[in-house]
Structure 1
Amino acid sequence: MIETVAEIGSTNAALLARLAAGEAAPEAAWLVADRQVAGRGRAGRIWSDGFGNFMGSTVAHLRSGDPLPQTLALVAGLAAHRAVMALAPSLQDLVLKWPNDLLVGQAKLAGILLERQGDAVVVGIGVNLSQAPQLPDRQTAALSALGFPIERDAFATALAQEWSWALTRWHCGEWPVLRQEWLARAMPVGSLISVNDREHGLLMGAFGGIDADGVALLRLADGATRAIHAGDIDLVG
Structure 2
Amino acid sequence: MSTDAHQPQGWPAAYDRIVLDEAPSTMTEALARAPSLSRPAWIMAHRQTAGRGRRGRAWADPPGNFAATLVLREDDPRRAALRSFVAALALYDTVAVLGARPEGLGLKWPNDVLLNGGKLAGILLESLPGGALAIGVGVNLRHAPEPERLEQGSLRPVALLHETGAAVPPEAFLDHLASAFDMREGQLATFGFAPIRTAWLDRAARIGQPLTARIGPREVRGTFETVDEAGNLILRTPRGREAVAAADVYFPEGV
User: TM > 0.5 between the two?
Assistant: yes
Kindly tell me the number of residue pairs found equivalent between the two proteins. Answer: 231
Q: How far off is 1:91 after superposition?
A: 5.4
Measured in 2, the distance between the counterparts of 1:150 and 1:91 equals 17
Picking from 150, 165, 171, the partner of 1:136 is 150
Give the aligned residue type for 1:224.
G
Measured in 1, the distance between the counterparts of 2:121 and 2:181 equals 15
- How do 1:73-222 residues align onto structure 2 when only pairs under 5 Å count? 73-90=84-101, 92-117=103-128, 118-134=130-146, 135-137=149-151, 138=154, 139-146=156-163, 147-198=165-216, 201-220=218-237, 222=238
Task: Give every structure 1 segment of 4 or more consecutive aligned residues whose post-TM-superposition deviation is greater than 6 Å.
Answer: none
Please name the residue that 1:228 is paired with: 244
Cα root mean square deviation, aligned: 1.9
Measured against aligned partners, the alpha-carbon deviations of 1:67-118 in whole angstroms (never above 9, x if no partner) come to 6221111111111111111112425421111111111243211001111123
Q: How far off is 1:216 after superposition?
A: 0.5
Please name the residue that 2:10 is paired with: none
3-state SS, counterpart of residue 205 of structure 2: coil
Contact 1:12 1:122 in 2 (8 A): yes
Measured in 1, the distance between the counterparts of 2:249 and 2:32 equals 31
Q: State the TM-score, normalizing by the size of structure 2.
A: 0.84
Measured against aligned partners, the alpha-carbon deviations of 1:165-195 in whole angstroms (never above 9, x if no partner) come to 1122222343111110011111142022111
CA distance 1:223–1:93, shift in 2 (3 Å) = farther
Q: State the TM-score, normalizing by the size of structure 1.
A: 0.90
3-state SS, counterpart of residue 21 of structure 2: strand
3-state SS, counterpart of residue 64 of structure 2: coil
3-state SS, counterpart of residue 217 of structure 1: strand
Contact 2:75 2:132 in 1 (8 A): no
Measured in 2, the distance between the counterparts of 1:192 and 1:63 equals 35
2:36 counterpart of 1:23? yes
State, as a whole percentage, how many aligned pairs show the same letter.
33
Measured in 2, the distance between the counterparts of 1:107 and 1:73 equals 19
3-state SS, counterpart of residue 242 of structure 2: strand
Unaligned runs of 5+ in 1: none
Contact 1:106 1:235 in 2 (8 A): no
